[in-house]
Amino acid sequence: MSRVLRTLLVTACLLALVPGCASDTRAPLVVLGPWTGAEGQAFEAALERLDDGTGRTYTYEGTRSLRETLVSQLEADDPPDVAILNSIGELTEYARRDQLKPLAEETAERAYPPWAPTLLVDGRRRTYWVPLKVDLKSLVWSKRSTPATDPKWCVGLASQATSGWPGTDWIEDILLHQAGPALYTDWATSRLSWRDPAVRRAWTTWARLLGHRSAPSIERSLTTSYEGTSGPGGPRGLLDSPGFDCTHEHQSAFIRYVYAGDDVRVQPSAAYLGGPAGYRDTYEVAGDMAAVFSDDPAAQELVERLSSPAGRERWRAEADPAVRPLFPNTTGLTPATPASPAEREIDTLLNSRARTLCFDASDVMPPELRDAFHRAVLEFFQDPTDRHLDALLRQLETVRTQVAEDPAEDRSFRPPEDICASPGG
């Protein structure tokens, strides 16, 4: 529901043109987010339960085309009150344009790193978003019936407008474990050349791990969703998809919703990627962060309530076990019984074993550079030769340089500089 439509509805209520209008004629707050299906229903149910005496109601708009929808609404000067995004690069862009509102102090205290680094604005450190739901990356999935060694990798690279990100996840994870958090951070925040030897080595390592692939196999991976093929009950996952002769999948924790049984094993990816032992307890993470686009004080209050222990309890209670959200800090939450051995292992890795967490590098990059990275991965997957790789890295370095030297850049504004942290900050 757009702000224009909400205004018309409120006006109609005031004029008594709509029967049954509540006495509180304030328009519902609109929340725009990425979750659809069972995830969206669970979040929407949690929003409805938040209406417990505040006098405000909430409308949730879930879409897989989140960036396109938000950009269109901003261009029409009709943004949502709250938007939930997984890209620090995009959030930084909106903050630079003064389209985000700094978070209230109580909410900002829940902006756990590395999901919510502060921004330097006019000499002041400000917090503009807070993580609601997080995911652990740096994971490998396989069937318990298959050997843990000698993997044959499943690869599905299609994802509507953002196809290619499963490949960027590979390269990011390899670089993190081979070169460590410091170099990874410099690369993700555009302080390191794409032609750096460590960056190049991550690409060639990915090609070596995947091994030789036939033309039909390449085409299948390029056109198959990261969720695998669909069956009567929905996505099957790549491990269970016909036509994929594979045993292991490199994928984030969220994919557990297609592997809900006990027959799937999940392991840290470090054992497969190479690199020093000192980086084995370092993990890449992602998150869905809430940001306020409205001047309405109730929007700030909503984000505070969503990020609170009580809000998280409500959300978790409404979600099916297979899509139950993971949180950046479980302090104050009632321990939940894991829905599967895989979920238990993920929870242990995220909250006990991880020593360093680093945010998804491509989601830190400016949108132009991130999108170029996605395209380059798709091209490299089709032709992983050295000559082609060198050309792709030159192109990516050109994009990085052009974005960094943008004359419209506000020098009083500084994007995130540190995207790695120990769990809990």
Mean pLDDT of 207-220: 96
pLDDT on residue 277: 95
Environment class of 57 (CB within 10 Å of its CB; exposed 0-12, middle 13-18, buried 19+): middle
- Please check whether the two domains, 3-135+288-329 and 138-283+359-421, share a CATH topology: yes
Give me the residue label for tokens 């309890």.
313
Q: CB–CB of 351/285 below 8 Å? A: no
Task: Examine the pLDDT at 3 and tell me if it is beyond 70.
Answer: no
pLDDT band at 411 (very low <50, low <70, confident <90, very high): low
pLDDT on residue 338: 85
pLDDT on residue 29: 95
Task: Examine the pLDDT at 26 and tell me if it is beyond 90.
Answer: no
Overall residue count recorded for the chain in this entry: 425
Task: Examine the pLDDT at 31 and tell me if it is beyond 50.
Answer: yes
pLDDT in tens, 76-113: 999 999 999 999 999 999 999 999 999 999 999 999 99
pLDDT band at 55 (very low <50, low <70, confident <90, very high): confident
**Of 405 and 278, more confident:** 278
pLDDT on residue 192: 96
pLDDT in tens, 283-314: 999 999 999 999 999 999 999 999 999 999 99
Whole-number Å distance between alpha carbons of 99 and 96: 8
Task: Examine the pLDDT at 388 and tell me if it is beyond 60.
Answer: yes
pLDDT on residue 332: 84
pLDDT in tens, 168-202: 999 999 999 999 999 999 999 999 999 999 999 99
The pLDDT > 90 percentage for the chain reads 74
**Of 18 and 79, more confident:** 79
CATH class, range 138-283+359-421? alpha beta
pLDDT band at 13 (very low <50, low <70, confident <90, very high): very low
Task: Examine the pLDDT at 424 and tell me if it is beyond 70.
Answer: no
Of 359, 401, 411, whose CA–CA distance to 191 is shortest?
Answer: 401
pLDDT on residue 121: 83
pLDDT band at 261 (very low <50, low <70, confident <90, very high): confident
Contact residues for 293 (Cβ-Cβ < 8 A; gap 6+): 74, 79, 80, 81, 82, 83, 94, 99, 100, 101, 299
Mean pLDDT of 350-374: 95
Q: Which two tokens stand for residue 97?
A: 């344009």
pLDDT band at 363 (very low <50, low <70, confident <90, very high): very high
Domains of the chain, residue spans: 3-135+288-329, 138-283+359-421
Whole-number Å distance between alpha carbons of 336 and 221: 36
Question: DSSP code of 101?
Answer: B
Q: Which two tokens stand for residue 87?
A: 């890209």
pLDDT on residue 5: 46
Residue range 3-135+288-329 in CATH 3.40.190.10: yes
Task: Examine the pLDDT at 19 and tell me if it is beyond 60.
Answer: no
Of 263, 219, 269, whose CA–CA distance to 244 is shortest?
Answer: 219
Whole-number Å distance between alpha carbons of 160 and 158: 6
Greatest distance between any 2 Cα atoms in the chain: 71
pLDDT on residue 88: 96
Task: Examine the pLDDT at 52 and tell me if it is beyond 70.
Answer: no
- ∠ CA 134-161-84 to the nearest 5 degrees? 35
The pLDDT > 70 percentage for the chain reads 91
Task: Examine the pLDDT at 15 and tell me if it is beyond 50.
Answer: no
pLDDT on residue 280: 96
pLDDT on residue 408: 57
**Of 134 and 23, more confident:** 134
The mean pLDDT value of the chain amounts to 90
pLDDT band at 148 (very low <50, low <70, confident <90, very high): confident
> What pTM, to 2 d.p., does this model score?
0.92
pLDDT on residue 321: 86
Question: Would you say the C-alpha torsion 87, 89, 90, 95 has a positive or negative sign?
Answer: positive
